[in-house]
Structure formats: C-alpha cells, structure tokens
Amino acid sequence: MAQVAPPPTLDFSINAEQVEQITNDIIAAELAINDAVASLKPEERTYENIVTRLVRAENELAGKAQLVSSLSQISPDAAVREASVAAETKYDQFSIEQSMRHDLYVVISDYMAKTDLDTLAYEDARFLRRLERSYRRNGLHLPEDKRNELKEIRKQLSEKCIEFNKNWARESSTVKFTKDELEGLDDDFLGGLKTVEEDGVTKYVLTMKYPDVRPVLKLCKNENTRKVHATAYESRNKENIVLLEEAVKLRRKAAKILGYDSHAAYVLEIKMAKEVDAVNKFLNDLTDKLHEPGLKEIDELKELKKAEKAERGEEYDGQLNAWDTSYYQRILLEKEYSVDQELIKQYFSLEATIQKMLEIYEKVLGLKFVKVPADKAVVWHPDVQLYECWDAVEDKSFSGYMYLDLFPRDNKYPHAACFPLQPSYIDENGERVAPIAAMVANFTKPTADKPSLLKHDEVVTLFHELGHVMHHLCSRTKLARFHGTSVEGDFVEAPSQMLENWCYDPKSLKYLTAHFKTGEPISDEIIDRIVKAKNVDAAMHNLRQLFFGIYDMTLHTSEDENLDTSKLYNDLRKKISLVAAPEGTYGQAAFGHLMGGYDAGYYGYMWSKVFSSDMYFSKFEIDTLSPEVGYSYRKEILEKGSSRDGMDLLKAFLGREPSSDAFMREDIGIAN
C-alpha cells in the first residue's frame, strides 16, 4: 500500500540540554526492559516476555542513539557537539555495563536451551543467536572477577576511542605560504583561502583538511612547499599516539582474558574472513605480487621528477618522496594519458553531478528521489540538502530520507562518510519505519561565480558514499539490528565499491557530465583517457592500502607490550608501500580507522573489493544501467542488510561461489 505522505523528518533544533535528556531517556528505557527480563522467573521466560520486549526496545531506541552520537561530527553548535560527545561516552559506558549483565545472560541462555529456535521467525532466531554470541564474546561465561576486569577494560577503551576521535575531528593546525611558494595553484584555489600579513608579506593559511592538502600535493611546483605541508599533515594529532598505544594494550589484554590468541583473532571470529591466517595470507600474497610492479611504477615517476628538475634547474635527489607521489602521478596522467583533472572537473559541477547520479540510482535500483525545498527542509546547517526517497517498482511506498552535507566547515567531520541516523524496522503494528541516512563530505564550496567542481576521484568518492546511503534506503529488515550496513565488517564496503565502477563506464560517464558553462557532455576522447588511466599506478595505490591493512593486523597480533607504534608505522610504510613517510612523522596518530571501529579490520577494504569486482564484472558489465540486474541486486544484497550472512547474500546474487578472478584482472592488472 503506497504511503501518501512521507513521515516527519528528524528535529535538528535540539539543544545541548535536550541531547543530554534524550540520552538519559534512552538509558532509562533500556534499563527498565533489561531489568524486567533479568527478573523473570523460569516459568515466565517466554517469547513474548523476552524476545518481543528486547526487540521492541532495540528497534525504538536505536535511531535516537544514532542521532545523538552523530551530532558531535556534524552540528555547527559547539555546545551540542560537546553534549553529543558526553552523551556518546555516557551511553557507551551504559551499554558496556548492560552487555556484561550476568543475570540477563542466565535468563536468555535458559530460554534458548528450552526453545527450538528453528520454530521462531528467522530474524528473531538470528537475534537470539547473535545475543548469545555477544554475551559469550563479552565473557559472561567467565568467573565474576574476570567479568569485572573485562568491564573495566571496555570502559577505558571506549574513553580512549572517543578522545582520539574528538582530537582527530577537531584538529586545526595550519601552515602558511606566500603566493610564490604556492606556484602551480590557480587563483580560484587561492581565492578561497584565508590570508594573514607577516612582516609586510601576504601569506595564505592552509589547513590539514583534504580540500587544502590534496591540491597542494598534486599541483604545487615548489617541492619544499609540498614537503612542509605533507610533513605537517603526517604530524597532526601527536596527542593521539599515547591513546592508540594504550588502546592496543587494552585490546590485547581483553582478548587474552577471553581466551583468544590476539585481538585480531577476537575481531575476525565474526567477520567473513574468520581467521588471522586467512587475512595475513591474503595481504602478504597481494604484497608479494605487487612488489615488482610497484618498483617499476616508482622508477617511472622518478624519471618524470628527474626531467622536471633538470627543466627547472633544480637539484634531483634521486628519491620519490612521500610529498612527490601525488604530484608526479598527476604529471604522468597528464603526459601519458592526457588526463587533466583541472579540465575534467569543469564537466562535474556538484549539483548537476548529484542529480545525474541519483537518476542512475533511480534507474538501476528502481527508486525515485524528490528534493525537499530548502524552506521546507529541517536541517542542521543551511548547506545541508534533504531528499525523499520513494520506491518506484513495487508498492510506490516511501523508502526513506537522505541528507547531503557536502562542504567543509569548522569542527565538522573531516572526511567523507555515510552517517546512519535512523534504521528501518517493522514496528508492532506491522508498519515499516523508514530509514534516514546522511552523506557527509568536504568538497570545495561554490563561489559567487563558479559552482563546486569535482575532480574525477571526488566523483568516485561521491558515488561510493551514496552507495552506503542506498544500502540504508533499500534495506527491508524486521529488526533494526540487521538494518542496512550492519553486515560483516569485511563485507560492508563491497556494495559501495561495486557502485564505483559506474564512474569508469563510458556510457554512465557520458550521462553524468555537463560542462558547467556550456552544458556540453564530456568528449568520448576524454572518457577513453579516464577509463584507460583507471589502473595507472594501481600497484602503488594498492600497496599503500596493503600497508594500512598490514600495520593494523601487526598492531593487533603483536605480543610486544612496549610496541613503538611510530617506528612500526614508518618501517612498514617504507617496506610495503615502497615510499618512506616524511622524517619524524607519525601518521598513525590520525589513522582514524584504528579507533573508529575498523581495528583489525582495515584489510576489509581490499577483501571486500574482491567481492565488489566479482559482482560488477559478472553481472553489470554488459549493461551497467540494467534495471533487471539492478533490481536483483537491490533484492538479494541491499534489502537483506545483515539478516543473512554476507557469503549467503553473495551466492544468492551471483548464483555461485564468489571468485577473485575479476579483482586480480580488472583492479590489479594480474591475470590469475
């Protein structure tokens, strides 16, 4: 039955006191349910008294908790951000307490032991099995002293992670350069920067945010400027080193108490990969295969550097430094492939690209997007846009809300990500509660005479993060717990990574583009160059990703209580990525994944790429805009959320076991 009007949107006018009150209300409601279940006598331990109560509470409270915690990263109000951090800390501590409740564990274990779970609805049975597994992983089968020790470790860990991420989001260091030192950067870029006067000289102030760092590292002809900016960028958040090292020790200690060999072994138990050996073999095999191709790519860039230095009358140091890679890769693309990102971005104005991108998603996934007028949209900042999403294939019902928060501002989340604000679920009246998700990014702001223009890699980022939003909007699960991107951590990126391929499909690229002045689509010749350049320096790019994955796994399998995380980071970076970090830097202090839920999980980006390549090249490559294949993908992958295991979803969509052939051939350039 089609819904005639969408439900109310979220209220972003809430102040700091309300953030605190909402958090207190969530905690009180959850505590009341848990207390009630924990006090059930054996004869009272029924489906209605246990499963129905717990599921309803989780369904109804999950969205409120997600909203409150997201405000720390997106709210323009400092008091609200502080309240959100405090609320997240308080709720995390409460959740740790509740997840360690032995009285709840006893009641639920007793109920499960007396119940044939196969007689329950599938998601309900899965809910109980997951609950029992989480209790075991929290050590509730252990003696009380060990349980209390674990509880304390978890609280300390939560505090370290929240503090790390707060520091990371609020990092505000700057570097200053004269106009001459910023040789190669255009007036558009310089015009968007703050300036200061020092000793009668105008200097431009640059931050460590992507819209400042990336153009300097790609375009600035002055090597020392690139070196200074790159070194500052890799030296931010020094205060986070101790937080990371303390977290690694706490994770190791908790894993040992629970009987696991390492924190990585603990984490991987519930991932697709399952075991440390499987991940290490995957990472090391790829590293070995890409080592020689990586050295060749570096030699090619060194030759470009040598030639440019001779041309400029500057000394060549014989090295490809960390601050050189983006710069000479850009020159290589321009010289060998005639890929000029400054030209290409003129065809990708942000507003038009989003509109075309949504039209592709509409066609492929069977959806319909309607932009809510600015004067009707309730948002947290004037830059934020709101869209309604409707089903266009089945019952024409409301699918959910999507917010787009795309431009940088002070104290906002510094990268690109999808923020779930409300999971979908089926309420007690049998009605679907629609999901709400936000895409947050930091693209260049439009000016009075020019729209925001995207480089091709930013178009890929946009497609990718919108892919996560689609996972939320298309999700159709009974329980909030299984909604959207709640899939295994090493599968969660696969649906979005697969959608990146549309950015290299000639037909889709043509459709996406329109010159911001003339409206003309991009030429077939430039499209051909973009597609051919896709895997240029693929070995170097993938070796860098492998370095992050191997560093993460090494940290979380190490037995060394006094591990120097900076030395390990810099040693592995040089050995694996083949490019040394700037001297004296400590990039791990701003490696947010390690403290943001990807610990012992960074490998998942490449692991899931295997599946994304298999899905795209076996199903979509022939016709990327096929509504039939797209609808099958929506039904078999996106709708299911984590209500089925990732491997089962893949097999259902592919009609077979997944294979790494497409990944090795298309993304790495090595035939199996």
Catalytic residue, chosen from 58, 181, 458, 465, is: 465
Which stretches within 258-395 are classed as H helix? 263-268, 276-312, 325-336, 341-344, 350-365
Are 497 and 464 in contact by the 8 Å Cβ rule? The answer is: yes
Q: Which residues contact 387 (CB under 8 A, 6 or more apart)?
A: 358, 369, 370, 371, 372, 401, 402, 403, 404
pLDDT of residue 338: 85
pLDDT of residue 195: 97
Q: What angle do CA 307, 309, 187 make, to 5 degrees?
A: 110
Residue pLDDT, tens place only, 418-451:
999 999 999 999 999 999 999 999 999 999 889 9
350: how many CB neighbours lie within 10 A of its CB? 24
Reported as type and span, the H/E element at residue 658 is none
- Backbone phi, then psi, for 425, in 5-degree steps? -170, 170
pLDDT of residue 665: 83
Task: List the chain domain ranges.
Answer: 16-99+101-137, 174-233, 346-538+619-667
Q: Which of 283, 165, 289, 137 is nearest to 604 (CA)?
A: 283
pLDDT of residue 1: 47
How many whole angstroms separate alpha carbon 459 and alpha carbon 463? 6
Q: What's the CATH code, domain 16-99+101-137?
A: 1.20.1050.40
346-538+619-667 maps to CATH 3.30.2290.10? no
How many whole angstroms separate alpha carbon 190 and alpha carbon 183? 11
Are 496 and 472 in contact by the 8 Å Cβ rule? The answer is: no
391: how many CB neighbours lie within 10 A of its CB? 21
Residue pLDDT, tens place only, 560-581:
999 999 999 999 999 999 999 9
Report percent pLDDT > 70 for the chain.
Answer: 99
Residue ranges in the chain whose pLDDT is less than 70: 1-4, 669-672
Residue 666 has which token pair?
């298309």
How many whole angstroms separate alpha carbon 653 and alpha carbon 279? 24
Q: What is the Cα 11 distance to its own chain's centre?
A: 25
Q: Which of 433, 231, 208 is nearest to 323 (CA)?
A: 231
Question: Does 465 participate in catalysis according to the annotation?
Answer: yes
458: how many CB neighbours lie within 10 A of its CB? 24
How many whole angstroms separate alpha carbon 23 and alpha carbon 468? 26
How many whole angstroms separate alpha carbon 231 and alpha carbon 582? 6
How many whole angstroms separate alpha carbon 539 and alpha carbon 134? 39
How many whole angstroms separate alpha carbon 150 and alpha carbon 148? 5
pTM of the model: 0.82
pLDDT of residue 3: 55
